[in-house]
Structure 1
Amino acid sequence: MSTKIMINLPVKDLAASKKFFTELGFAFNDAFADENMEAVVITDDILVMLLVEPYFITFTHKQVADTSTASEAILALAVESRERVDELADKALAAGGVAVGEPRDLGFLYLRSFTDLDGHQWEVSHIDMTAAMEAS
């Protein structure tokens, strides 16, 4: 079995968060869904578990980070093309996300960042490996 990752994120409004990620085009795994959580399928090996805050706290016993004043992490997705970077970022902004800075184009690396409805920062990038090798 390959190594898989499940990222657990606290959310205030589970239905709104599910709608946000649906609008980005992601599917959900109903085997991990109930009134406390939803599982966003990023790939076969990556799930993002959206957990309502009171349920999330039962796993950590710490306060949930206030994403309006602090960064807890940057969730980075590498995708197959610059067009896919723009597609995901544009869908996120249309669904209520907020842009973080301007798009960055380093020639071999193109990325855009946004926050989701709960202030979690996402970065979507495309790396042109041929251009990256030529640049080094």
Structure 2
Amino acid sequence: MHKTIFVNLPVADLDASKKFFGALGYRFDERFSDENAAALVLGETMVAMLLKRDFYQSFVPGRQVIDAHKVSGAILCLDVDSREIVDALVGKAVAAGATFGDTEDHGFMYGSSFYDLDGHGWEMMWMDPAAAEAGPEAFAAQNES
């Protein structure tokens, strides 16, 4: 149905956010970036638009822009290829100034999270490919026997 996702996030300091995500190894698409916005490339067809708060406000007239340090509006969950990559990315985020969230280990599924400089929740998640194919509940049921 859809080909690409652009998630828009308000940020207090665009330069600090670019530095933070750059420290995690992400790049920016300069074609969609300017003094008000930075296009954070999360994958081939996934982009998080980091928008200065006043610019973000222009997209939602009459609505309050949340302070994600106080109110949660979304958790961005990204899959990675291994548990080790989950831990490495979250470790880099914390080293770059993020606040650690939590870790969940279900054996076939593993995730860990952090809150970025603006309080937005990010979760890195790995799932055993067999569990992803069968579905977590079916995978767990077949491995109980």
Q: In angstroms, what is the RMSD of aligned CA positions?
A: 1.5
- Partner secondary structure for residue 110 of structure 2: strand
The match for 2:124 is: 124
1:78-117 equivalences under 5 Å are 78-101=79-102, 103-117=103-117
2:74 partner amino acid = A
1:29 partner amino acid = D
Number of paired residues? 135
Q: CA deviation at 1:106?
A: 0.6
- Partner secondary structure for residue 94 of structure 2: helix
1:25-64 equivalences under 5 Å are 25-61=25-61, 62-64=63-65
Q: CA deviation at 1:15?
A: 0.2
Per the normalisation by structure 2, the TM-score is 0.88
The match for 1:135 is: 140
Which structure: larger Rg?
Answer: 2
The match for 1:23 is: 23
Report the Cα distance in structure 2 between the residues aligned to 1:95 and 1:33, rounded to whole angstroms: 22
The match for 2:71 is: 70
- Unpaired segments ≥5 residues, structure 1: none
Report the Cα distance in structure 2 between the residues aligned to 1:64 and 1:134, rounded to whole angstroms: 41
Report the Cα distance in structure 2 between the residues aligned to 1:118 and 1:32, rounded to whole angstroms: 21
Q: CA deviation at 1:95?
A: 0.5
Aligned-residue sequence identity (percent) comes to 46
- Unpaired segments ≥5 residues, structure 2: none
Q: CA deviation at 1:60?
A: 1.0
Q: Say if 2:98 and 2:116, in contact at 8 Å, map to a contact too.
A: yes
Report the Cα distance in structure 2 between the residues aligned to 1:43 and 1:79, rounded to whole angstroms: 11
- Partner secondary structure for residue 91 of structure 2: helix
- Partner secondary structure for residue 42 of structure 1: strand
1:59 partner amino acid = F
Q: Deviations over 1:109-135 (max 9, x none)?
A: 100010000000001100013254531
